[in-house]
Amino acid sequence: MNTIKKTLTIALLGCSSLAISQTAQDKLKTQSINEIGLTVSSYKYTEPNLTDFAGTTMSVTMKAMNVGVEYLGTLALTDDWYLLGEADYNNGSVNYTGTGTINNIPQFYYNFKGAVGHDFAIDNFVLSPYLGVGYRFLSQSGGGMTGSSGSGFYDRQSTYNYIPIGVIHRMAVNDSKATLVTTLEYDYLISGNQYSGLSSVNGTKNGVTYAGVPNINNTQNSGYGVNLSVMYKEDVWGVGPYLKYWNISQSDTAYGNFTKNGVAYRGGVYEPANNTIEYGVKAIYRF
């Protein structure tokens, strides 16, 4: 009789342990929640192999300290499916180095993303892959600004349409009172457009007169991005580092007619291959 009692006790303890494990695992799955974040980051854009009109190869860089806001919303569905929506906005004046230098060029960008995903519980962690669509827009308002070499800047706008393919890893820390959330995402560029407001160079500068220089749009169809973040999250707040990277191939070439000191020319313009890296820290409020 005592042996039966002991066996029954062990069986009940085993069931209790299993229930606790299942509860902790369910907590790691995607929850319906909203998150608002503030970000501070270092931003660097580079054209590593730009060739000027004289055939000289040089590197162009633009650097900034960005401050941004971010919203992330998740909606848990049945059977471990979920929806994800994200929007972020970043602002910071850039300092240009290339054919001379220009400081404090106004710049901002924003990004929208929507995705659907599924949770997979594995032992003491959960993997949540997702697939969606994304849109990124960046604007620089440098039209009319003049650099140290006397060359003029112009307005630039970059538009990316992409497919985000990502996975979220969640694991418990501090006896399940908090979670460590790591997100890795690959962004496949579907299409891009680079607008260059070159008409701002029309007029006379340093004894040279340009007229009829058109604004140009270049198509970009090859490139990718990578996003990585590691967040420590409590019930109502979170904090952690993040990194964003874009690598975009050279665009097509667009042609236009203009005059230089009264002489007619036909020129081609393309957006050089470029990369952007941004890394910083994010703090979030969860509700």
**Angle 151-142-264 (CA atoms, 0-180°, nearest 5)?**
50
- Provide the residue range defining the domain that includes 200: 2-286
For 60-84, what is the mean pLDDT?
97
Which CATH number goes with the domain that contains 24? 2.40.128.100
Check residue 285 and give its pLDDT: 98
The number of domains in the chain is 1
Give residue 93's identity as a one-letter amino acid code: S
Residues 20/25/28/31 CA torsion (nearest 10 deg): -90
**pLDDT band at residue 21 under the 50/70/90 scheme:** low
Instruction: Give how far Cα 229 sits from Cα of 5, 94, 170, 237, Å.
Output: 51, 24, 12, 15
For 39-49, what is the mean pLDDT?
95
Q: What is the pLDDT of residues 92-141, one digit of tens each?
A: 999 999 888 999 999 999 999 999 999 999 988 999 999 999 999 999 99
Check residue 56 and give its pLDDT: 59
Which residues 6+ apart lie within 8 Å of 178 measured at CB?
172, 232, 233, 234
Quote the tokens at residue 208.
Answer: 């040279």
Of the ranges 4-8, 61-65, 144-148, the best mean pLDDT one: 61-65
